[in-house]
Amino acid sequence: MTSNQGAPLSRRSFSSAAYGRRKKGGHSSENGAGEAVQRNSFSASRSVGLTGERTVKRLRLSRALTVSDSTSIKEACRRMAARRVDALLLTDSKALLCGILTDKDIATKVIAPEVDIENTPVSDVMTRNPMFVLSDTLAVEALQKMVQG
């Protein structure tokens, strides 16, 4: 980054410029309050745009990993590792959501009690009836639901 005269700007001078401090002849008010107000309103509108106006669908980066509840724990763990995810959605024979398997479930319900991972279905260790929201739900509403439990 360089100044108007071609000399490199330090990180400090860039920060000062970014926060509305100008040298003589600038257009901001003497204390920089005009730019501070503008900066704060931009920050506020940006945060609302990231949470309040976006839906869960727009925030989701990838498709959820889903398997049948009869899948073995070993196979479920293999798929989770392959996709690098920490949770897996489980469906019943009617393809309806019936549970979720998380890395915490694996640690506390599989590894600690030494469950046979090759012959035990995930339905034996999953968290049943997880709460969910529809994809068109606002992200802020989904967050509120998660916090409330």
Q: Give the pLDDT confidence of 91-149 residue by residue, as tens digits.
A: 999 999 999 999 999 999 999 888 999 999 999 999 999 988 898 999 999 899 989 97
Structure tokens at 2: 């360089």
Q: Which residues contact 132 (CB under 8 A, 6 or more apart)?
A: 97
Structure tokens at 126: 């999953």
> Hey, what amino acid is at 98?
C
CATH class of segment(s) 57-148: alpha beta
Lowest-pLDDT choice from 40-54, 62-76, 128-142: 40-54
Q: Which residue has the higher pLDDT, 78 or 1?
A: 78
Determine the Cα–Cα distance for residues 126 and 77; give it in Å rounded to an integer. 12
**How do the domains of the chain map onto residue ranges?**
11-51, 57-148
pLDDT of residue 20: 36
Structure tokens at 44: 């506020």
CA angle 131, 137, 141 (to 5 degrees): 70
Compute how many other C-beta atoms are within 10 angstroms of the C-beta atom of residue 100. Answer: 19
Percent of the chain predicted with pLDDT > 90:
46
When pLDDT is averaged across residues 61-71 and rounded to a whole number, the result is: 91
Q: Which residues contact 40 (CB under 8 A, 6 or more apart)?
A: none
